[in-house]
């Protein structure tokens, strides 16, 4: 089969210096021959309740605009799920549909499963859930079991348990496989791997694959970090991209397909249902869309801005803030001096960020973090305040953070600061950790990935759907 692409016209708050201990009971390159072509509303079922609650350039080179801080009454962007029922309904009309999704797949306040299940012209025959499950409540890394969706009676298969992609049996009653999940635009996130593995299953089953596109919440311009080395392939780094790639899931699907990153995937009949109104300079704050946490520890769009840098701390014994209600917005170590750490980081004048001294005590929080690192210990560190989101270079900031906290360690603890596997699967290589150990200046470490950034910037160009 030839692949098919359907696209439209390209047309925080300040914090205080205080000890925080959460209440666990608190709720809270040319393309192949792609064809180019130019809602009704139903109640959202209880099974999918909505939790309403940045190229190779320096920060000053990124085109700027004023960024709103809240949901708009009339969203600027219409996501792919909303357009499926109008311009692209022929893709599912009269079909048995399998949907890879979670709680984030909402358009106009309604979930994609509810929209399609209630349509008499479509038969939803299977649901597939990624890490955290279809409802998004499982802890990071926790295996999710198969189940029957209580509201619809549809089989709900887990792609984060014994199986990491749909089996032939799961697809036996499926005519077309659809993917609709909000991503965070960072390599070390499992949803792109789920999308790509399922693309392989679809081509093996001889059925089309549809990606309903959604915004990259940290924008479509900034590329940062090294391209992942082959020896560090993992579920949080399945594809050879920099840490931030500046692509939407639809664009990434095109790249996975045309680069042949899975065996035989070039034969897949791939459809992308594009967004309307999204442009590459938009961060989430510009879309007017409500933020629905794509996973429990990315509770707001501000967290998504810094996550590509603070997630490095998952590859160390230090805390990335899990076990608090501000994960990835605060990091620290029992061996740091929080005042010194904040002072040293603020002296570096990192664009768009301020650092505040803080101490916190990680605890188990149901639905967010079960037995986090350093549970019950006093962690001394910094809280990040995003003062100018478009200016933030999160991966560069992560290097500065690692360097400061490494330097504050007692000498006897420095040898074991970087996990031998956990750190390189996030950095994409062993070089970053070694340069920090060797005292290489942060700016030199940051400059070391510029060749990769330029290479990937050229590589991704044929797959970009938006201006």
Q: pLDDT digit string (tens) for 16-36?
A: 333 444 444 443 333 333 332
- Three-state DSSP at 205 gives helix
381 by DSSP, 3-state: which?
strand
pLDDT of 401 above 70: yes
Q: 430 or 12: which carries more pLDDT confidence?
A: 430
Q: What residues contact 119, with CB distance under 8 A and at least 6 apart?
A: 85
Lowest mean pLDDT: which of 43-57, 175-189, 416-430? 43-57
For 233, the token pair is 């392939």
Q: Which domains does the chain show, CATH number per domain?
A: 301-449 (3.90.1150.140)
pLDDT, tens digit, 9 for 90 and up, residues 325-346 = 999 999 999 999 999 999 999 9
Question: What pLDDT is attached to residue 149?
Answer: 83
Helix-, strand-, coil-residue percentages of the chain, each rounded to 5: 30, 15, 55
* Count helices and strands in the chain by DSSP H and E runs: 12, 13
Who contacts 330 (Cβ-Cβ below 8 Å, separation ≥6)?
20, 321, 324, 358, 360, 381, 382, 383, 384
pLDDT confidence band for 132 (50 / 70 / 90): low
Q: What is the pTM of this model?
A: 0.85
Kindly report, residue by residue over 435-451, the tens digit of the pLDDT.
Answer: 999 999 999 999 999 99
**pLDDT value of position 285:** 96
What percent of the chain lies above the pLDDT cut of 90? 75
Give how far Cα 220 sits from Cα of 63, 115, 241, 245, Å: 11, 28, 14, 8
Q: How confident is the model at residue 62 (pLDDT cuts 50, 70, 90)?
A: very low
């Amino acid at each position: 089969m030839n692949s098919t692409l359907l696209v439209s016209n390209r047309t925080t708050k300040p914090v205080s210096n205080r000890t925080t201990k959460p209440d666990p009971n608190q709720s809270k390159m040319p393309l192949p021959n792609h064809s180019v072509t130019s809602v009704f509303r139903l109640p959202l079922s209880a099974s999918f309740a909505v939790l309403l609650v940045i190229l190779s350039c320096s920060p000053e080179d990124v085109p700027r605009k004023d960024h709103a801080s809240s949901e708009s009454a009339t969203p600027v962007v219409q996501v792919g799920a909303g357009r499926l029922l109008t311009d692209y309904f022929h893709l599912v009309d009269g079909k048995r549909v399998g949907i890879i999704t979670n709680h984030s797949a909402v358009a106009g306040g309604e979930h994609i499963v509810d929209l399609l299940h209630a349509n008499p012209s479509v038969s939803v025959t299977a649901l597939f859930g990624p890490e955290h499950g279809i409802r998004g409540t499982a802890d990071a890394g926790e295996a999710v079991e198969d189940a029957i969706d209580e509201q619809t009676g549809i089989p709900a298969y887990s792609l984060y348990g014994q199986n990491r992609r749909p089996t032939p049996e799961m697809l036996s009653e499926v005519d077309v496989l659809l993917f609709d999940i909000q991503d965070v635009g960072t390599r070390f996130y499992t949803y792109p791997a789920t999308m790509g593995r399922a693309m392989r299953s679809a081509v093996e089953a001889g059925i089309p694959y549809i990606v309903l596109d959604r915004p990259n919440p940290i924008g479509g311009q900034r590329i940062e970090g090294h391209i992942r080395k082959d020896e560090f392939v993992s579920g949080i780094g399945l594809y050879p991209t920099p840490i931030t790639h500046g692509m939407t899931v639809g664009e990434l699907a095109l790249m996975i397909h045309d680069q042949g990153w899975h065996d035989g995937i070039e034969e897949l009949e791939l459809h992308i249902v594009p967004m309307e109104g999204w442009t590459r300079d938009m961060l989430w704050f510009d879309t007017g869309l409500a933020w629905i946490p794509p996973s429990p520890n990315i509770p707001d769009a501000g967290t998504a801005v810094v996550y590509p840098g603070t997630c490095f701390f998952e590859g160390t014994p230090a805390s990335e803030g899990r076990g608090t209600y501000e994960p990835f917005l605060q990091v620290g170590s029992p061996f740091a001096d929080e005042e010194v750490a904040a002072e040293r980081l603020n002296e570096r004048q990192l664009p768009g960020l301020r650092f505040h001294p803080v101490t916190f005590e990680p605890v188990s929080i149901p639905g967010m973090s079960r037995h986090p690192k350093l549970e019950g210990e006093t962690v001394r560190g910094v809280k990040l305040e995003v003062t100018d989101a478009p200016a933030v270079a999160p991966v560069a900031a992560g290097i500065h953070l690692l360097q400061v906290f490494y330097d504050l360690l007692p000498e006897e603890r420095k040898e074991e600061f970087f996990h031998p596997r956990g750190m390189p699967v996030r950095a994409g290589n062993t070089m970053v950790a070694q340069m920090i150990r060797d005292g290489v200046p942060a700016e030199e470490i940051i400059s070391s990935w510029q060749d990769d950034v330029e290479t990937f910037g050229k590589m991704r160009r044929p797959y970009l759907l938006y201006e």
